[in-house]
Amino acid sequence: MTDTDAPSADLVTEDTGDEGLDARLVVEHGTFRLDVTLTAAPGDVVALLGPNGAGKTTALRALAGLVPLGAGHLRLDGTALDRMPPEARPVGVVFQDYLLFPHLTALDNVAFGPRCQGAGRAEARAQAAEWLERMGLAEHAGAKPRRLSGGQAQRVALARALATHPRLLLLDEPLAALDARTRLEVRAQLRRHLAEFEAVAVLVTHDPLDAMVLADRLVVVEHGSVVQEGTPSDIARHPRTDYIAQLVGLNLYRGQADGHTVRLDTGPSITTTEDLSGPVFVAFPPSAVTLYRDPPSGSSARNHWHGEVAGLETHGDQIRADLTGELPLAADLTTVAAAELELHPGAPVWAAVKAAQTHAYPA
């Protein structure tokens, strides 16, 4: 992940013209309403990132035609797909648990799509063998899905979806079913295959790391709507909701800026280095927080607040302290520091943050 602020790159992907995906997906069931706008150019990999129940999978199913659109539109390379049944859409799907047909071999699973598109048995099998070869699975062609490992099944599922030459590839939580070690390896492979894919790819995930590694652009969905979109680095630096802030590990606040002071909607103010006015977000990482047992007098930090320890947990080799009080925040400190401060739930503490370590940006 490179740290470049290149808004021009964003503009290029936004300008789809006739090529690529242009969709506004509105789906309602019960009290839940999904309303998401998605655009992407061929070659783009877009990640729909959001908590469980945000509507990501519904959006994916709407793109595939498995859920009817309540309103909106769906165009792919200039063709309207809204009214097309799923089997007529040039869309490939890698399902979360892959859904490989258990009664068919890996080869016949991959050959299924070409067969449905009219290829003869031998021709479809030849194409399938080629795809398996490309995925490095040639020796597993004759295996039934239950004999494949999680990573192999994932690649067969990807080959099966790609074998129909889709213009839109959809991946639903492509790595969620894998254990941690396989995940690392499969993520790298998937990244390579997605980079080679010349049409639009949309993947759904609740894992920010998967999203940032695999996608060029993130679309964050919460409660059925898009709350933020941009490049991974932009989103990591400028989160706009608590959910995203938590994902990328930042303390996030919203307030009114007046010069170098941001008065938060909840009362306290934060001094920042940025000179802004109007509604802003302020973010700082938990590692920027220093804790004291007494009011810090000699500290050079411009920001300090009184609080109380609400909870402690180990976080890597650090201790993460959750504070309540004037300014609820998360702070990281070493085990030694935590012991010296005699931290325990309910302990009163002072938290200090240097202005230089905060980051303010317009809301």
Partner 1 sequence: MTSTDKSDAAADTLQGGPRRGRVRSGRRGVPLPLLVPALIGLAFLLLPLVALLVRAPWSTLPEQLTSTEVWQALRLSLVCATAATAVSLVIGVPLAWLLARTDFPGRGFVRALVTLPLVLPPVVGGVALLFALGRNGVVGQWLDSWFGITLPFTTAGVVVAESFVAMPFLVISVEGTLRAADPRYEEAAATLGASRFTAFRRVTLPLIAPGIAAGAVLAWARALGEFGATITFAGNFPGRTQTMPLAVYLALQNNPEAAIALSLVLLAVSIAVLAGLRDRWMTAS
Does residue 69 bind partner 1 (CB under 8 A)?
A: no
Does residue 143 bind partner 1 (CB under 8 A)?
A: no
- Nearest approach in angstroms of CB 151 to partner 1 is 19
Amino acid identity of 187?
R
Does residue 181 bind partner 1 (CB under 8 A)?
A: no
- Nearest approach in angstroms of CB 56 to partner 1 is 17
Q: Compute the distance between CA of residue 359 and CA of residue 273 in angstroms, rounded to an integer.
A: 8
> Smaller CB distance to partner 1: residue 32 or 101?
101
**Whose CA is closest to 237, among 25, 70, 1, 68?**
1
Does residue 102 bind partner 1 (CB under 8 A)?
A: yes
> Smaller CB distance to partner 1: residue 7 or 102?
102
- Nearest approach in angstroms of CB 87 to partner 1 is 5
Alpha-carbon distances of 39 from 14, 217, 219, 222, 299, rounded to whole Å: 6, 11, 10, 18, 49
Q: Compute the distance between CA of residue 242 and CA of residue 45 in angstroms, rounded to an integer.
A: 25
- Nearest approach in angstroms of CB 321 to partner 1 is 44
Question: Which one of 5-13, 79-87, 124-132, 335-343 is the stretch in contact with partner 1 (CB under 8 A)?
Answer: 79-87
Question: Which one of 61-69, 178-186, 250-258, 350-358 is the stretch in contact with partner 1 (CB under 8 A)?
Answer: 61-69
Give the end-to-end CA distance of the chain in Å, rounded to a whole number: 24
Collapsed DSSP state (helix, strand, coil) of residue 122:
helix
> Smaller CB distance to partner 1: residue 117 or 314?
117
Amino acid identity of 315?
H
Does residue 161 bind partner 1 (CB under 8 A)?
A: yes
Task: Spell out the alpha helix ranges (H) of the chain.
Answer: 7-14, 56-64, 106-116, 121-134, 150-162, 180-196, 208-214, 232-237, 242-248, 335-340
Q: Compute the distance between CA of residue 229 and CA of residue 351 in angstroms, rounded to an integer.
A: 32
Amino acid identity of 113?
G
Q: Which of 7, 17, 103, 139 binds partner 1 (CB under 8 A)?
A: 103
- Nearest approach in angstroms of CB 109 to partner 1 is 9
Question: Which one of 11-19, 90-98, 310-318, 340-348 is the stretch in contact with partner 1 (CB under 8 A)?
Answer: 90-98
Q: Which of 26, 66, 341, 356 binds partner 1 (CB under 8 A)?
A: 66
Q: Compute the distance between CA of residue 27 and CA of residue 20 in angstroms, rounded to an integer.
A: 22
Query: Count residues contacting partner 1 (CB under 8 A)?
Result: 23
- What is the binding site for partner 1 (CB under 8 A)? 64-66, 85-89, 91-93, 95, 99, 101-103, 112-113, 116-117, 160-161, 164
